[in-house]
Amino acid sequence: MSATILVLNAGSSSLKFQLFALGSGDLLIRRLKGQIDGVGGRHPRLVVADADRQPVHEETYPGNRVASLEDAQELLGNWLLGHLGELPVAVGHRVVHGGPDFATAMLVDDGLIERLARLSPLAPLHQPNNLAPIRSIRARRPDLPQVACFDTAFHRGHPEVADRFAIPEALYQEGVRRYGFHGLSYEYISVQLPEIAPTVAGGRVVALHLGSGCSACALMDRRSVDSTMGFTALDGLPMGTRPGQLDPGVVLYLMQQGQDAASIQHLLYHDCGLMGLSGGSNDVRDLLASDEPQARLALDYFVYRISQAVASLGASMGGIDGIVFTAGIGEHAVPVRAAIAARCAWLGVRLDPERNAAHGPLITAADSRIPAFVIPTDEEQMIARHTLAVLRRAKGLA
């Protein structure tokens, strides 16, 4: 068995993973992909498939066996050790917030964990969960190298005017600024552009990461120059349960009505977005299948705000040469892509219905002034690449 890198992406109740074998040079070969879902629930389950999506293992456990992400990591580690016969050479992790100090992937030590934990209030849905398996592995296997890969890092090259809020300088120096997120996804898209969309790769591209979390990114010559997300992952586009752009006066109003920080945080992270507008679901598939007026309103609002973001990021770049859809909704929701394209018709976007139904990669007509593409994202691939690069730097091989 060749040496491997394990990639972990921890959510609130799941631990997704991929295992990559190290080939010659920088070649990374996907071997396994899976997840432990239902963490903390009654019937947590481990599901593993190979690179061809063929089942490798599936097992359901008693709820008390996988009560936390630390339990999930231990279970996964034991299963992998039994399956492979050896540990991976390193573990790469997605960490949502890198704050003002980290613009590149970093080798984990106790000091880094502590600094990242201080950022948890800025990403309460993600940061504590991202750090849980890091801490668990650190405690059990302190000699196993771990690498933290930040969703904010790809956006660190923004011009200052794009990252500022109109607030006093002292707050900016404290780190109150626009960071941008989904950077690992956008970085992967930037790598794929020359192969999939060579005519626009060096130009001005609006990339739309549309999933449970949603954002848009302005790419110029494959570098991020602006993003819809800001200080936290609440800003910008409406999401599954998060509101996106919101007048801060709404938060002041809620405080004046007696709500405390904890209740407001729960509202903004769990009860808004598509869930709040529809009153029933944050799943676009449910909303598309529903005849309820509130479901239609939620989808209309979603499309409306996304089309506004396309135009806004176009203004940031001085024009648009291409549009990319990615992530769960962006890659699979044919009607949503069609509705966004229709709202962008004034820019010269004209969809080809058959190409859109086939999920591209090119989904616009030959005479569309701005081509649009569907490019599946692969954050885990980027994490594995960064992990390998950090390992090589640590060993003086870069």
Q: List residues with catalytic annotation.
A: 151
* Tokens 């060993």 belong to residue: 395
From the CA atom positions of the chain, what is the Rg in Å? 21
Q: Tell me the C-alpha distance between 255 and 267, whole Å.
A: 12
Residue bearing tokens 């293992």: 57
CA dist., res. 277 & res. 61, Å (int): 36
Report the amino acid identity of residue 170.
Answer: A
Residue 12 DSSP SS3: coil
CA distance 198 to 134: 38
What DSSP string describes 32-72? EEEEEE-TTSSS-EEEEEETTS-EEEEEE--GGGS-SHHHH
Query: Residue 187: exposed, middle, or buried by beta-carbon count in 10 A (0-12, 13-18, 19+)?
Result: buried
Q: In the chain, which residue ranges form alpha helices assigned H by DSSP?
A: 69-84, 110-117, 127-140, 160-163, 169-173, 183-196, 248-256, 261-270, 273-278, 284-289, 293-317, 327-332, 334-343, 353-357, 379-394
Task: Output the DSSP codes for 267-303.
Answer: HHHHSSHHHHHHSS---HHHHHH---HHHHHHHHHHH
Half-sphere exposure of 69 (CA within 13 A, CB side): 22
Residues near 282 by Cβ (< 8 Å), separated by ≥ 6?
212, 239, 240, 241, 273, 274, 275
Q: What angle do CA 296, 298, 301 make, to 5 degrees?
A: 105
